[in-house]
Structure formats: structure tokens, C-alpha cells
């Protein structure tokens, strides 16, 4: 798959490491051979990326790093913190070699991380910074995500920005990324626009976001809302539905994140202003490499992938890799999701979007 080739090329460029990673030639007395079992814990099924990209990409990369002998044991918590804890415990009981966890609740997961540590199983935090004694963290530059969203809104509002009323839909407070997205966005928005309503959204639920948007519309007035900052695409879709159902004739600019297929289609149709394109490919393949190298005791390769460093509330100096992000608008669909093989023109330009696609040269 084209996706994988470009991922390794990009990741080497991104973190400036030398050739040879993944080749297996320079391993130093590995603890394990190819028979590595990676436990993968993802948080929910409401956000398209986890089932559609993260899991399959990690599975594919683990197979390719281990001559098809390694495997990924996968569990999705379906938005239940208790379920994630049980799934985590099961992986410890099954003695997997390494655990990759995208925590639903970064604090609540800490005792499970500690149990894995006590059982000698390394834990790598995936996308969200889990608390407790983790071995490494791989994510995107999450503050940059918020900055990119906020800056795009301010630029789009232009001269009207100072008098513009903006509604802010933030993510789940139990997700540590939410605070980073919010901080980045507020750095760009505060002092530039007038934020009239702010909401947190438990579990990133589109239903909750929709209900909050309905409240904002009745409090502020449909015609007075100049823009909506939405932290991700799932909520952006719900916000746009609420605006339409309230009778909006023109949808104000709405931000998003994740480059979900339906969001890219809304961008093509001019309903959603922008999304943030995060290369799940880079994040997932690098996570798979970190997990396999960690399990195999290939320290040099592991260290080369974790040149950044982050602090969590419970631990300082966590080796990390933070992948960069780019804004996704009508103007760069080709250079981002299509070029990286995330979607084809055919995926995006279905019958409903044919003419909008043609209007921006997507065909
Ligand atoms: C964040 C993640 C985003 C988005 C969101 C919703 O932690 O970084 O990509 O998917 O969760 O679950």
C-alpha cells in the first residue's frame, strides 16, 4: 500500500533519524524475536479514525516489522472507562509483550498502567497522554492543532473578527488533548474575536454537541453567530446539523479536526470551513515501531523514534514523538488526504458532491 511507503519516508524525515530503522540489522541482543504480541486499547467508535485508520494501520505495520509473525490484540472501550480498565487488565492477564493505550480518561487509567509496569509489561501512551509510569508517548502536536484551528477562523473572519460572536465547542475534559487544543485555540482567538459561549463535550459526543449548539442558537440568535470553533469533525457535523435545522441559509465558518471523510465532503460542499489533517499514518506506524522495538529490546531504534520529551502530571521527561499537523481546506485536499492515499477522489466525489468537486478541480 502506498500509505506505508510514504509513512516511513516521512517519519524518518520528521524526526531526522538515520537509515536502517525497521531493517532489523542493527538490533542489539533482542529480548524477543518476531513473535511479538502488541495489545492495542482504543477509546471509542464515535470518532471515525480509531476503527478506520489507527487499528488497521498499526496491525499492518506490526505484521510488516515481524515478517507476519507478530500480532495485535485489539480492544475498543466504546466510550466506557470501566470497560477500558477491564480490557487493560485482560491484556495484563494474557501477558502481552507491550501495550499501546489511547486512554478514555487519562487519570483513571493510571492504576492500570502501574499494574502493567509491576507485571513487567511496557506501556506506550497512544495519542492521549495517559498518567502513571508509561514508557513513551506518541501523538500529534496537540497545541498546534488548536492554533491551526483558531488562526484559520480569525483569518477567515478578517476585518469582521473584532465584532464577531464565536461559539466554542471543546472536547472531553477527561481527554488531556482537550486542554491542549483549547489552549492553542484560545491563544489565537482571545483578543481577536468575541467568544460568547463555551462548552465542554463529554466523551466527544456529537449528540451532546448538537444539544449545546441548539442552546447557543437560542441564547445568541442564529444570525448573530459569526463562527463556531469545533474541536473535531464529529462535533462539527453535529453543529452544522443544528444550524441547518434552525433554518440557517448560510452556514458560518465551522472548524474541525481529523479529516473524517464526511467532513472532507462538507468542506468540498462549502458547509464546513476547515479540518485539521493529522497523519494517522505517521502516528500509527511510529506507534507500531515503538511497540515492536520496545518489546524486542531494540533500544537504539526505540530511542531514535522518541527524540521529543513531554511531562504528564505524574511523570517528567517521557520520551515522545509528536507528529506535526496541517490545516485542511478546500484549497489543499489534493496535497493532503489524496496525496497520502487516505481517500481517493472517488471516495470523496460521490454523486452528491460531483459538481462541488468539479468546481474546485477535484476529478
Ligand atoms: C482526541 C484525538 C482526536 C479526536 C478526538 C475525539 O484525543 O486526538 O484526533 O479523535 O480525540 O475522540
Is the pLDDT assigned to residue 246 strictly greater than 90? yes
Rounded Cα–Cα distance for residues 182 and 317 (Å): 23
Q: Both 190 and 127 in a single domain?
A: no
The domain that holds 253 is classified in CATH as 3.40.50.2300
Q: Both 187 and 331 in a single domain?
A: yes
Q: Both 317 and 344 in a single domain?
A: no
The pLDDT value given to residue 5: 38
Is the pLDDT assigned to residue 23 strictly greater than 60? no
Rounded Cα–Cα distance for residues 235 and 210 (Å): 7
The cell for 77 is: 472501550
The pLDDT value given to residue 25: 41
Which atom in ligand 1 lies closest to the alpha carbon of residue 139? Answer: 8
Q: Both 271 and 284 in a single domain?
A: no
Is the pLDDT assigned to residue 341 strictly greater than 70? yes
Q: Both 11 and 103 in a single domain?
A: yes
Rounded Cα–Cα distance for residues 216 and 172 (Å): 18
CB of 139 within 8 A of CB of 129? yes
List CB contacts of 128: < 8 A, sequence separation 6 or more.
43, 102, 103, 106, 139, 175, 176, 177
Expressed in angstroms and rounded, the spacing between residue 114 Cα and the centre of ligand 1 is 24
Ligand 1 contact via 232 beta carbon (within 6 Å): yes
| Residue of minimum CA distance from atom 10 in ligand 1 | 47
Q: Both 194 and 343 in a single domain?
A: yes
Q: Both 225 and 333 in a single domain?
A: yes
What's the pTM? 0.87
Q: Both 40 and 123 in a single domain?
A: yes
Number of residues written out for the chain: 363
Query: How many domains in the chain?
Result: 2
Ligand 1, from 258, 280, 324: best to mutate by most atoms within 8 Å of Cβ? 258
CA nearest to 251, candidates 213, 297, 283: 213
Expressed in angstroms and rounded, the spacing between residue 171 Cα and the centre of ligand 1 is 8
The pLDDT value given to residue 31: 65
Give the confidence band of 30 by pLDDT, cuts at 50, 70, 90. Answer: low
Residue with cell 490484540: 73
Is the pLDDT assigned to residue 77 strictly greater than 90? yes
CB of 44 within 8 A of CB of 175? no
Q: How far is CA 339 from CA 41, 87, 249, 343, in A?
A: 29, 36, 33, 9
What are the DSSP calls for 219-278, one per residue? HH-GGGEEEEEESSHHHHHHHHHHHHHTT-SSPPPB---S--HHHHHHHHTTSS--EEEE
Sheet holding 194-199, edge to edge: 194-199, 165-169, 225-230
Q: Both 338 and 210 in a single domain?
A: yes
Q: Both 79 and 225 in a single domain?
A: no
Expressed in angstroms and rounded, the spacing between residue 102 Cα and the centre of ligand 1 is 10
Q: In terms of residue numbers, what domain contains 121?
A: 2-140+278-324
Ligand 1 contact via 76 beta carbon (within 6 Å): no
| Rama region for 337: left / alpha / beta (φ>0; ψ in -120 to 50; rest) | alpha
Q: Both 73 and 153 in a single domain?
A: no
**Which tens digits make up the pLDDT trace of 286-309?**
999 999 999 999 999 999 999 999
The pLDDT value given to residue 363: 84
Task: Give mean pLDDT, residues 313-333.
Answer: 96
Q: Both 156 and 110 in a single domain?
A: no
Amino acid at each position: 500500500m502506498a500509505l506505508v511507503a510514504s509513512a516511513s519516508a516521512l517519519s524518518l524525515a520528521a524526526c531526522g533519524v538515520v537509515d536502517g530503522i525497521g531493517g532489523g540489522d542493527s538490533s542489539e541482543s533482542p529480548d524477543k524475536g518476531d513473535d511479538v504480541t502488541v495489545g492495542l486499547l482504543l477509546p471509542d467508535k464515535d470518532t471515525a479514525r480509531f476503527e478506520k485508520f489507527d487499528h488497521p494501520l498499526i496491525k499492518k505495520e506490526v505484521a510488516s516489522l515481524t515478517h507476519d509473525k507478530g500480532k495485535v490484540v485489539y480492544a475498543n472501550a466504546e466510550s466506557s472507562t470501566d470497560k477500558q480498565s477491564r480490557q487493560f487488565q485482560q491484556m495484563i492477564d494474557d501477558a502481552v509483550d507491550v501495550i499501546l493505550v489511547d486512554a478514555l480518561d487519562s487519570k483513571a487509567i493510571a492504576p492500570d498502567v502501574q499494574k502493567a509496569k509491576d507485571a513487567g509489561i511496557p506501556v506506550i501512551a497512544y495519542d492521549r497522554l495517559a498518567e502513571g509510569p508509561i514508557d513513551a508517548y506518541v501523538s500529534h502536536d496537540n497545541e498546534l492543532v488548536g492554533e491551526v484551528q483558531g488562526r484559520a477562523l480569525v483569518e477567515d473572519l478578517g476585518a469582521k473578527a473584532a465584532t464577531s460572536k464565536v461559539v466554542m465547542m471543546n472536547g472531553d475534559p477527561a481527554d488531556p488533548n482537550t486542554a491542549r487544543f483549547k489552549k492553542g485555540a484560545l491563544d489565537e482567538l482571545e483578543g481577536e474575536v468575541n467568544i460568547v459561549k463555551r462548552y465542554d463535550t463529554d466523551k466527544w459526543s456529537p449528540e451532546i454537541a448538537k444539544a449545546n449548539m441548539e442552546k447557543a442558537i437560542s441564547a445568541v440568535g442564529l444570525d448573530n453567530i459569526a463562527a463556531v470553533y469545533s474541536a473535531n469533525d464529529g462535533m462539527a457535523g453535529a453543529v452544522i446539523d443544528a444550524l441547518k435545522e434552525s433554518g440557517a441559509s448560510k452556514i458560518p465558518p465551522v472548524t474541525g479536526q481529523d479529516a473524517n471523510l464526511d467532513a472532507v465532503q462538507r468542506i468540498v460542499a462549502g458547509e464546513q470551513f476547515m479540518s485539521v489533517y493529522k497523519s494517522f499514518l505517521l502516528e500509527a506506524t511510529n506507534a507500531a515501531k515503538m511497540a515492536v522495538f520496545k518489546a524486542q529490546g531494540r533500544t537504539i531504534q526505540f530511542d531514535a523514534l522518541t527524540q521529543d520529551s513531554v511531562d504528564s502530571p505524574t511523570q517528567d521527561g517521557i520520551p515522545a514523538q509528536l507528529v506535526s499537523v496541517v490545516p485542511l481546506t478546500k484549497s489543499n485536499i489534493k496535497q493532503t488526504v489524496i496525496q497520502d492515499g487516505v481517500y481517493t477522489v472517488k471516495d470523496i466525489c460521490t454523486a452528491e458532491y460531483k459538481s462541488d468537486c468539479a468546481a474546485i478541480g477535484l476529478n
